[in-house]
Homo-oligomer: A and B are copies of this chain.
Amino acid sequence: MTTGERTHGSVWLRPARTPRAAKGQAFAQDDLAAAGVALADRDGLDAVSMRRVAAELGITAMSLYWYVDTKDQLVELMVDRVLAEQPVPVGDDWRARLRSIGCDTLELHRAHPWFVHAQGRPGTLPGPGQLRHWDRHVHALTDPRITPRLAPENVTLAVGTVMNFVSGYALTPARGVLTPYAGHPQIDQYLRDAVLGHGLESLRSLAHLRHQFTEDRFDDGLDIVLDGLHARLF
C-alpha cells in the first residue's frame, strides 16, 4: 500500500476517494464527468483531452490523475453520468413502456452524439448510474400493474433488443451518410458513375439510392421490433 496500486481497470473498482470535506478546493469525480460531458457535447469526443478537461476545472492535466487512473476511466464516468439522468419509462402497458425506453434512448443519443462511441468499452463496468438505469427498465417491465408477467430472462431480452436497435440506429450519424450533401452535384455524379460503372443493377435508379441513404424511419423500425416482441414474447 506504500505506492498507489494501479488498478488499470474500471473506475468503480478504485478505492473511494474520501474528500477531506473541509478545506482546499477538492472535486468530486462527477465534476470531472460533468466537465467532460460538456466538452464532448460542444466539440465532440476527440476534444475531450486531459488537459482541456483540467482547464475547464481550473487545474492542470496531472491533477486529474488524483481522481482517476486513466483517461478511459474519465470516459467511464461520463457515460455513467449521462445514463444516470435518463427518465423513468412511462406508459400503461409493456408496449408503451418499451417504446418510451426506445424514444428516451434516442433522445439521449441526439443530445450526446459521442455517447454511442464511448459506451461499453472493454474492461469497463456498469457504474451506479447505469445500474439505476437498468433497475428502472426492469422495474418498468415487471411492475405488477403491467398486464402480462414476463420471465426474467425475457425482460432482459426485450429491453436488450430495443436497445440494440436504437444503438445501431444512432450509430450512423445524421441518418444517411448523404444528408449533409443532399443535392450536391459532385456527389450525385460520383454515385451515378459508381453504380453504373460497376453494374449494380438493383441500385440503378438514383431515386432508389437516395432512399437508401436518406430515409429516417426510426418510428417504423421501433414498431417492427415491438411487433416482433409481441409475437414472440407476449
Contact = CB atoms under 8 A, between A and B. Distances in A.
Interface in A201-216: 201-203, 208, 211-213, 215
Contacts of A19: none
A171 B172 contact: no
Interface string A95-123: 00000000000000000000011011111
A67 interface: no
Interface in A31-77: none
Category for how many chain A residues contact B: 35 or more
DSSP majority for the A interface? helix
Nearest to A229: B224
A232 to B, nearest CB: 5
B200 A164 contact: no
A165 B225 contact: yes
Interface in A182-223: 186-187, 190-191, 194-195, 198, 200-203, 208, 211-213, 215, 217, 220-221, 223
A172 B233 CA distance: 23
Give the residue among A121, A136, A164, A187 with the most B Cβ atoms within 10 A: A164
Interface of A: 12-13, 116-117, 119-126, 128, 131-132, 134-136, 138-139, 142, 152-153, 156-157, 160-161, 163-169, 171-174, 177-178, 180-181, 186-187, 190-191, 194-195, 198, 200-203, 208, 211-213, 215, 217, 220-221, 223-233
10 contacts: A120-B172, A125-B177, A128-B198, A131-B191, A134-B212, A153-B215, A164-B166, A166-B168, A168-B169, A224-B232
